[in-house]
Structure 1
Amino acid sequence: MSILSKMLKNKQKKRQNDNYRQQQDPQKPEEQVILRSYLDNVSRIKGELGNSTDLVFREFTICQHKGTVVYIDGLADEKLICDFFIESLSDEEFDSRQEPFQVMADKAVGLGSLQIATEWNQVFDSILSGNTIFFLDGYNKAINVETKGWEMRAITEPSTQLSIRGPKDAFTETLRVSTAQIRRRIKSPNLWLESMKIGMVSQTDIAIMYLKGVANEKIVKEVKERLKRINMDAIQSSGHIEQLIEDQAWTTFPTTYHSERPDVVTSHILEGRVAIIVDGTPFVITAPAVFIQFFQAPDDYYSRFDISTGIRILRILSFYIAIIGPAIYIAGTTFHQEMIPTTMAIAIAAQRENVPFPAFVEALIMEVTFEILREAGLRLPRAVGQAVSIVGALVIGQAAVQAGIVSPVMVIVVSITAIANFSTPSFAMAIAARLIRFFMMGLATVLGFYGVMLGLMFLSIHLCSLRSFGIPYMMPIAPFNLRNQQDVFVRFPVWAMKNRPKFISKGNMVRTGENQKPGPKTKPDDQGPKGES
């Protein structure tokens, strides 16, 4: 009985404490309430943030009430705060009958957007985001003013997705600059933007942009739910987001698209896709993504349709060369010599006479060597990296041929394969081809051309099984949709692309009006101009 009575007393005591806190502030626990003494608030900020040296506290007096300004040096615009607010407070005389907190709020409005903070979570989030907090003695609330003013990189030309006729601007690491670049291109009230913070420690700002009435509401909802399910300490790049929201993790193919070009992201939004912008990275994610999308370059839409169609077909052909180029050589020289023309077979046999390795080992040596050179060229400084890639490939290739380690034909095959891989517009898809190439080489070594065909069949089945936010990855090829073939292998003229892709957009499908075909709209006169015979 004594234990039971003790438990009842503890519950009663706890209930009394809870009732007391609710009387002080019925909606907020005591530890979340901003204190009335500004000195106590300053002490708490110093304690919570470890008395960091970049924390700035500036005291002021207004209507005989003392207060303090709190911000982080480097994140907030210090010159704006000092010149516009603190100096104006010290120079101006106020009537003692005026309400001090309202006077301070009226002054702070000129700095930027203003909010009244009543909880400590709002205070810490705002300070760490570059805002400024104003405390006034005697008030259990604070003024939160947006004064972000950190250094940012200027808008420059894209470094990974170059274009001949397209715009020369690229996204930056600043979220608001990136969203403004999209706003400049789509001046529509239906372009909606929603923001959230992801990362328990980093509190990274994420923005979702889509065209209301054009984007599929189910896809928009699915994107939001997947982002809200992310539970990590920090999000440092859009690459983290890609890995956490994709449909299929065990695949080398990218199921979301990323780009640093505002015109590319804008065109995707206009088709009904959803853009995910991550603060701190210049690459914007768009979803859903389909396979053929990774072979579409910006210049396809700035050039004539016949030229764009030919170049796109060449890219797709180069992609398959990058996958099966060495495998075809291995299968032909190892198992199917009868399929090679006699003159060529004799030449290849004569070149490989002094090579001590089978075709697979020969190809593996050259492919691995070339991948090492390519990776070294990327990691070294730009001026040195290009020289290492070019000189290294020439010197090592020539030396390997003279030493009899590889044949000249193998050097040609590996070079053509590498050049074909570079023609893929998307770097993510090009990396997938590089990995699949080794898998195809292994199948060709064991089964010859039958292995190559088996690998291509497995690859096709795998691609058809993938999804991107519920959309089949091979749409509109498989399942085949005749109406959506306007921008697949053949790029139709701009005036003929009247509707948006039906498998992406479920709203307003029409994007081109009637009678947009170029040419004279009226018949020319049979006779010449007046006055001519």
Structure 2
Amino acid sequence: MGIFSKPKKQQDSKSANTQEQVFLGENFDVRMKWFKDTFQKSDDITFHELTANQTRCGIVFLQCMVDQQLFDDQVLKYIVSPNFASSRKELFHKLLDLKSISTMCASILTDIREATDLVLDGKIIIFFEGDSRMLAIPLTSVEKRAVGETANENVIRGPREAFVEDIHTNITMIRRKIKSPDLKMEQLQIGKYTKTKVMIGYIEGLCKEELITEVKQRINQIDIDGVLGSSYLEECIDNFPLSPFPQSQKTERPDVAAASLLEGRVVIFVDGTPIPLLLPVTMYMFLQSAEDYYQRYFLSSFIRLLRYAYLVVSLLFPSFYIAITTFHPEMIPTTLLISVAASRDNVPFPGLVEAFIMEIAFEGLREAGIRTPKAIGQAIGILGALVIGQSAVQAGIVSAPMVIIVSLTGIASFIIPAYDFAFTIRLLRFPIMILAGSFGIFGLMIGCILIYIHVVNLHSFGVPYLSPTAPLRPNDLKDVFIRAPWWLMKRRPSFVGSSDSNRLTIKKSISEGDED
């Protein structure tokens, strides 16, 4: 398992993430001093010292994360009321009996360090003199983005909702789709300073226990200052961190995450990011789109085969053009060879340098279109395609066929649904171009063989990266190169190792038809 197989490192990280509990007893002044010393120079922390029924009461909360008006109306007015409780001992019990508090999922605690963490999480901490217990009331009021449409995984017939940055909203969207008590959500906390919530979701009985244990073990081994996105965890839990190929799937669609859970996979949610991680993953999953499962199976199969064809185009087309024009011109038909030679007559650069100039210029235009405001991003793409390309051809810097080759290659890379996998293909295009420009078709084949050797040795949490083709599992090929109809995909993918392989049962055979 690589760097994650060292038990000593696991033990060290666990001890670093464990905080010792602190109990300060019933003394009011000691507890209030703890809070003030802990949050000194933090002007956004509010400290209230009140007298309720001749009993000192302390209230601590974070101003920007608490609905203070609701707290005043639902809780505070009862605390300061002289008729609320008849004695100090009755005060805490009366407060818990309030209908407003009982519906807020309030919690009781005695650990002052835990109370400090809850203040930073947006809870209101209330404690009384002579009582070691503290009450944490969740009245969090934080601005968050509303659920909207997906930005990168658009579909025609499927749902339009997308994950947001709030982890509880994301889990709610999953719970709405999978209404089963077997859907488990285990919470972890990562980050010395950020204390980021991480939820590990899986369906008990479908997901292998070994996979769940391995995921939790790798996450618990991470000792980091802060986690601001799921990519922080992704790089720390990969089996092969030096590989350019992604080893976990990302999505912003709740339906894709729910489908992964139903296959027996694990979903990792990270608070503050709308993109969870799906584990394990195979290479073929990056060529699947949510749209495949909302269209008729023969339409989806055609589009999926088209993606595989354009995957080859995106990876090898420029290299193939460089190889045949530089080393193997006899492979080109005579008429086409004359046309290509005439277009390259005034170009001062060899094919490899010409391809590098165009590819780097295309990547620069792509990045500029992403980073610029949306109002002018499209204009940059049009400007680069029409003006710069045409001007470069007229100036004799590049040939017209090379512009066509690079443009078609760029379009092919956009067809790949997964952005990180498409980026890997774009990155591998450059070393293959160098091999093709140095050794021709032989160099191109050497590059393909090296990539295949690397990919066939990759694993994602114990699952071979090329599964179900290597090793071959014929029953799992129904949803790889094509998408078979739902009534034929009766079993879950076997490479996930789910204990319950049956996914679909049809009481009446489709082939029987309707005899009425």
Which of the five TM-score ranges fits, normalised by the shorter chain? over 0.9
Q: What code does the residue aligned with 1:275 have?
A: V
Check whether the contact 2:78–2:84 (CA below 8 A) recurs between aligned residues.
no
TM-score scaled by length of structure 1: 0.90
Shift of 1:83: 1.1
Q: What code does the residue aligned with 2:96 have?
A: A
- Counterpart for residue 171 of structure 1: 163
Separation of aligned partners in 1, 2:487 and 2:448: 36
- Counterpart for residue 454 of structure 2: 462
Shift of 1:77: 2.3
SS in structure 1 at match of 2:65 = coil
- Counterpart for residue 223 of structure 2: 231
Shift of 1:95: 4.3
Q: What code does the residue aligned with 2:83 have?
A: E
User: Which residue, out of 60, 72, 97, partners 1:106?
Assistant: 97
> 1:282-321 maps to which residues of 2 (within 5 A)?
282-321=274-313
Q: What code does the residue aligned with 2:358 have?
A: M
Change (3 A) 1:72 1:95: closer
Shift of 1:483: 1.0
Shift of 1:151: 1.1
Shift of 1:133: 0.4
Separation of aligned partners in 2, 1:523 and 1:384: 60
CA deviation string 1:232-269 (max 9, x = no partner): 00000001111011111111111100100000010010
Shift of 1:521: 4.7
Instruction: Mark the structure with the bigger radius of gyration.
Output: 1
User: Which residue, out of 450, 453, 464, partners 1:472?
Assistant: 464
Shift of 1:42: 2.5
Check whether the contact 1:111–1:147 (CA below 8 A) recurs between aligned residues.
no
- Counterpart for residue 441 of structure 2: 449
Separation of aligned partners in 2, 1:45 and 1:388: 54
TM-score scaled by length of structure 2: 0.93
SS in structure 2 at match of 1:66 = strand
Please tell me whether residue 338 in structure 1 is matched to residue 349 in structure 2.
Answer: no
- Counterpart for residue 383 of structure 2: 391
> 1:119-518 maps to which residues of 2 (within 5 A)?
119-515=111-507, 517-518=509-510
Separation of aligned partners in 2, 1:467 and 1:95: 63
Q: What code does the residue aligned with 2:357 have?
A: I
Separation of aligned partners in 2, 1:139 and 1:51: 28
Check whether the contact 1:495–1:516 (CA below 8 A) recurs between aligned residues.
no
Separation of aligned partners in 1, 2:317 and 2:123: 56
SS in structure 1 at match of 2:184 = strand
Q: What code does the residue aligned with 1:83 have?
A: D
Q: What code does the residue aligned with 2:91 have?
A: P
- Counterpart for residue 53 of structure 2: 63
Farther-moved stretch of structure 1 (262-271 vs 68-77):
68-77
Check whether the contact 2:110–2:133 (CA below 8 A) recurs between aligned residues.
yes
Separation of aligned partners in 1, 2:237 and 2:85: 57
CA deviation string 1:1-22 (max 9, x = no partner): xxxxxxxxxxxxxxxxxxxxxx
Please tell me whether residue 33 in structure 1 is matched to residue 23 in structure 2.
Answer: yes
SS in structure 2 at match of 1:286 = strand
Check whether the contact 1:64–1:96 (CA below 8 A) recurs between aligned residues.
no
SS in structure 1 at match of 2:56 = strand
SS in structure 1 at match of 2:199 = strand
Check whether the contact 1:257–1:289 (CA below 8 A) recurs between aligned residues.
yes
Change (3 A) 1:517 1:444: farther
SS in structure 1 at match of 2:259 = helix
Identity %: 39
Separation of aligned partners in 1, 2:509 and 2:29: 72
Shift of 1:394: 1.7
CA deviation string 1:75-96 (max 9, x = no partner): 1222221110002333461342
- Counterpart for residue 70 of structure 2: 80
- Counterpart for residue 8 of structure 2: none
Segments of structure 2 that go 5 or more residues without pairing to the other structure are 1-18
- Counterpart for residue 523 of structure 1: 515
- Counterpart for residue 53 of structure 1: 43
Shift of 1:62: 2.6
- Counterpart for residue 44 of structure 1: 34
Check whether the contact 2:52–2:81 (CA below 8 A) recurs between aligned residues.
no
Change (3 A) 1:184 1:329: same
Separation of aligned partners in 2, 1:35 and 1:125: 18
CA deviation string 1:354-404 (max 9, x = no partner): 000000000000000010111111111111122112212321111100100
Check whether the contact 1:192–1:209 (CA below 8 A) recurs between aligned residues.
yes
Farther-moved stretch of structure 1 (173-182 vs 111-120):
111-120
Change (3 A) 1:104 1:328: same
SS in structure 1 at match of 2:64 = coil
Separation of aligned partners in 2, 1:79 and 1:194: 33
Check whether the contact 1:111–1:146 (CA below 8 A) recurs between aligned residues.
no
Check whether the contact 2:150–2:253 (CA below 8 A) recurs between aligned residues.
yes
CA deviation string 1:277-298 (max 9, x = no partner): 0000000101000000000001
Shift of 1:135: 1.5
Separation of aligned partners in 1, 2:434 and 2:82: 81
Separation of aligned partners in 1, 2:478 and 2:206: 18
Farther-moved stretch of structure 1 (107-116 vs 344-353):
107-116
Check whether the contact 1:161–1:261 (CA below 8 A) recurs between aligned residues.
yes
SS in structure 2 at match of 1:74 = helix
Aligned pair count? 496
Change (3 A) 1:517 1:463: farther
Q: What code does the residue aligned with 2:387 have?
A: V
Q: What code does the residue aligned with 1:53 have?
A: D
SS in structure 1 at match of 2:451 = helix
Shift of 1:139: 2.2
Segments of structure 1 that go 5 or more residues without pairing to the other structure are 1-27, 525-533
Separation of aligned partners in 1, 2:82 and 2:425: 69
Q: What code does the residue aligned with 1:454 have?
A: I
Q: What code does the residue aligned with 1:494 have?
A: W
Change (3 A) 1:516 1:368: farther
Separation of aligned partners in 2, 1:250 and 1:66: 59
Separation of aligned partners in 1, 2:188 and 2:496: 24
Shift of 1:58: 3.0
SS in structure 2 at match of 1:247 = coil
Separation of aligned partners in 1, 2:276 and 2:34: 38
Shift of 1:35: 4.8
Check whether the contact 1:131–1:144 (CA below 8 A) recurs between aligned residues.
yes
Check whether the contact 2:85–2:91 (CA below 8 A) recurs between aligned residues.
no
- Counterpart for residue 12 of structure 1: none
Check whether the contact 2:96–2:102 (CA below 8 A) recurs between aligned residues.
no
Change (3 A) 1:67 1:303: same
